[in-house]
Amino acid sequence: MNLHEHDKKIINQLQGGFPICENPWKELEKTLEIPADEIISRIKKMKSEGVISRFGPMYHAEKMGGGLTLAAMKVDKERYDEVTEIVNSFSEVAHNYEREHELSMWFVIATELPQQVQQVIDKIEQKTGINVYNMPKLQEFFLGLKFEI
């Protein structure tokens, strides 16, 4: 994907933070030396093309009182599609990835309340007959969030 120089500048700058104030674009105009309406239209375009998957605040699920975990399962090739369908059918399953490993399915469970995580895991185990490895984060290491492009 070929990005315009300004698109790159916008991504690099805005990964670090979007100002919370009445005129956020005014601050960015100065930093980026790009007019506000151009920044907005470039973000809109990149969002519609999928280059940017999100614009806005990202909330911390656990601090909001919710539950969050990473879970993994050993799923055989023969049952992979069937199990994918079962796991994806849970609205609490936010992301699900196939990975090259005996533990071949990795998914994120996000719930409104912490105790619901175990309930979702129990249901997935019942419906699939496969053991779920529950791997909640015990410690998070700060991410500068970067990806210079």
Partner 1 sequence: MNILATQQNSENYILDESDRKIISVTQTGLPLTLHPYNDVAEQTGLDVNEVISRMKNMTDQGIIRRSGVVPNHYKLGFKSNGMSVWHVQEEKITQSGEKVGALDFVSHCYQRPQFLPEWPYNLFAMVHGKTHDEVHEKVKKIADLLAGDNLAHQVLFSTRILKKTGLRI
Looking at the Cβ atoms of 90 and 119, the one nearer to partner 1 is 90
Q: Rule CB under 8 A: is residue 118 a binding residue for partner 1?
A: no
Contact 72, 136 (CB under 8 A): no
Cβ at position 119, least distance to partner 1 in Å = 19
Please, which residue, 33 or 100, has the CB nearer to partner 1?
100
Provide the 8-state DSSP code for 65. Answer: T
Site for partner 1 (CB under 8 A): which residue of 5, 33, 78, 140?
Answer: 140
Q: Which two tokens stand for residue 23?
A: 């005129």
Site for partner 1 in 83-102 (CB under 8 A): 84, 87-88, 93-101
Q: Does 138 sit near partner 1 (CB under 8 A)?
A: yes
Q: Least distance to partner 1 from the beta carbon of 68, Å? A: 8
59 contributes a contact to partner 1 by CB under 8 A: yes
For partner 1, the closer CB: 122 or 134: 134
Which residues make beta-bridge pairs with 70?
108, 135
| CA–CA distance, 149 with 147 (Å, rounded to integer) | 6
| CB closer to partner 1 out of 113 and 149 | 149
Q: Which residues contact 126 (CB under 8 A, 6 or more apart)?
A: none
Query: To 10 degrees, the CA torsion angle through 49, 53, 56, 57?
Result: 180
Q: State the Cα–Cα distance between residues 116 and 62, nearest whole angstrom.
A: 12
Quick one: which of 33, 58, 77, 78 contacts partner 1 (CB under 8 A)? 58
